[in-house]
Amino acid sequence: NFTAEVVPQAPEDPLFGLVRAFRADQDPNKVDLADDILHNDPELNHEYAPISGIASFTSKAAELILGGADSPAVKEKRVASFQTISGTGAVHLGALFLAKFYKGNKKVYLSDPTWANHHQIFTNVGLPIASYPYFSKETRGLDFEGMKSALLGAPERSVVLLHACAHNPTGVDPTLEQWKEIAEVIRLKNHFPFFDSAYQGFASGDLLRDNAAVRYFVEQGFEFVVAQSFAKNFGLYGERAGCFHFVTAPAPDAEATVTRVASQLSILQRSEISNPPLYGARIASIVLNDPKLFSEWEENLKTMSGRIISMRKALRSKIEELGTPGTWNHITDQIGMFSFTGLSETQVQKIRSDYHIYMTKNGRISMAGLNTRNVDYVAKAINAIVR
Ligand code: PMP
């Protein structure tokens, strides 16, 4: 039944292949600029969570992304929240829901570039994808005009995927003013916004600043969905803590809409995973529900993002000190964990073979992989290979 013609060998995921190559590399100077981190402690029983997840977690998760307990969406009970297998599972649940129930233009518009997994998550549930310009190679910043005109040109009621903050892989975010214009275009064309929030608190260190775009869409009364990951901001990568939120627009029957949508999400969730995992959600729930732990967490986020920001400064200034050809302001202009260095695929190969420095082949580095001990080495290597 399953010959090579029917089931061809799938290519290895490039990111996980990169991790494997890094682990196998014996060079003492090797530097991993692909992501890591981990931690935490237990308190377990092993009963099933409800299908929609741990309520104390999902309700606080909704508040976190939608603007607190006073968020109109939260207060007016216009939100259905489902705990998911981290952010990936949340994007998938949203994709599955739209594939089954969305009656507008089912094409999903993704930024070019975007997190590679977006392509296959939407395609795998049968939703066609298209792209909108996002990154300008010239400025290594946002191609705002390109983005706007593509969204204006897309058929009415298309699905538009937006990174809530710390765009992956470019580290380039719209300003709040630009978000307002994007919202205007989306409103004008009746597009359906699909937010992916994987880095709240990790970008600026400020939870409110990092959800400003989502809060603006709430404020403007949009109907939309959000996929929320707790992998990065809680260091819960492998525990798979995430949440999917459906937010309906203000309307007399909004609560009824949410009830109906939730009933269908329950069926989808049941057929996919039945019950979401407990451990990570428990940890997040404990922190989100305890004001003291919450403010400690906020401090941690500031430290972590502050470290990333200071590494950006260090890398840029060391590269500039060396008189490296080109402009390097994009390193500090970009935000969040990732930086699009602008290195070509050939340069990426060369820095790996000559200097044992690992980054994805599109030239994306994770700032979390830099530290005071290796930043000099990395700057020198970049200087050497771009010459
Ligand atoms: N969306 C984006 C844009 C991401 O960068 C990531 C993490 N790399 C995710 C979603 C989901 O990650 P996870 O499933 O680990 O939460």
- What is the number of alpha carbons within 13 Å of residue 199 lying toward its C-beta? 27
For the cut 70, the answer to whether the pLDDT of residue 262 exceeds it is: yes
* Centre of ligand 1 from the C-alpha of residue 50, in Å: 24
- 305 CB within 6 A, ligand 1: no
Mean pLDDT of 166-174: 95
- What is the number of alpha carbons within 13 Å of residue 360 lying toward its C-beta? 19
Alpha-carbon distance 245 to 228, whole Å? 8
Q: Check the CA dihedral 164-166-167-169 and report its sign.
A: negative
The atom of ligand 1 lying closest to the CA of 237 is 15
Alpha-carbon distance 195 to 290, whole Å? 27
Return the bridge partners of 161, or none.
194
Residue entry with tokens 């990174």: 163
Work out the mean pLDDT of the chain and round it to a whole number: 92
Residue 315 pLDDT: 96
Q: Where are the beta strands (DSSP E) in the chain?
A: 31-32, 79-85, 108-112, 129-133, 135-136, 141-142, 159-163, 192-197, 224-229, 241-247, 338-340, 357-358, 364-366
Residue 38 pLDDT: 32
DSSP-assigned letters across all residues of 146-187:
HHHHHHHHSPTT-EEEEESSS-TTT-----HHHHHHHHHHHH
Q: Say if residue 202 is exposed, middle or buried (CB neighbours under 10 Å; 0-12, 13-18, 19+).
A: buried
The atom of ligand 1 lying closest to the CA of 86 is 16
For the cut 50, the answer to whether the pLDDT of residue 350 exceeds it is: yes
Mean pLDDT of 303-324: 94
Mean pLDDT of 270-283: 94
16 vs 372, higher pLDDT: 372
Of 7-11, 123-127, 135-139, least confident by mean pLDDT is 7-11
Mean pLDDT of 213-222: 98
Mean pLDDT of 17-43: 66
Mean pLDDT of 44-56: 88
For the cut 80, the answer to whether the pLDDT of residue 159 exceeds it is: yes
Residue 324 pLDDT: 95
Give Rg (Cα) of the chain.
Answer: 21
Residue 39 pLDDT: 42
For the cut 60, the answer to whether the pLDDT of residue 43 exceeds it is: no
For the cut 80, the answer to whether the pLDDT of residue 206 exceeds it is: yes
Tokens of 85: 């297998």
For the cut 90, the answer to whether the pLDDT of residue 11 exceeds it is: no
Which tens digit of pLDDT belongs to each residue from 97-122?
A: 999 999 999 999 999 999 999 999 99
Catalytically annotated residues? 115, 196, 232
Give the pLDDT band of residue 44 (cuts 50, 70, 90). Answer: low
* Centre of ligand 1 from the C-alpha of residue 1, in Å: 35
- 276 CB within 6 A, ligand 1: no
Of 6-20, 178-192, 234-248, 283-297, least confident by mean pLDDT is 6-20
Give the pLDDT band of residue 178 (cuts 50, 70, 90). Answer: very high
ipTM of model: 0.98
Mean pLDDT of 49-78: 96
Residue entry with tokens 């060391």: 318
* Distance from the Cα of residue 2 to its chain's centroid: 35
- 168 CB within 6 A, ligand 1: yes
For the cut 60, the answer to whether the pLDDT of residue 42 exceeds it is: no
Residue entry with tokens 């990169």: 18
**Residue minimizing CA distance to atom 12 of ligand 1:** 87
Confidence (pTM): 0.90
Give the pLDDT band of residue 32 (cuts 50, 70, 90). Answer: low
CA distances from 196 to 40, 75, 99, 292, 307 (A): 25, 22, 17, 28, 24
- 86 CB within 6 A, ligand 1: yes
User: Dihedral, CA atoms, 356, 357, 359, 365, nearest 10 degrees?
Assistant: 170
For the cut 70, the answer to whether the pLDDT of residue 191 exceeds it is: yes
- 161 CB within 6 A, ligand 1: no
Tokens of 277: 């995992």
Residue 8 pLDDT: 82
Alpha-carbon distance 89 to 196, whole Å? 11
For the cut 80, the answer to whether the pLDDT of residue 72 exceeds it is: yes
Residue 33 pLDDT: 59
Q: Say if residue 302 is exposed, middle or buried (CB neighbours under 10 Å; 0-12, 13-18, 19+).
A: middle
Q: What percent of the chain has pLDDT over 70?
A: 96
The atom of ligand 1 lying closest to the CA of 229 is 16
**Residue minimizing CA distance to atom 13 of ligand 1:** 87
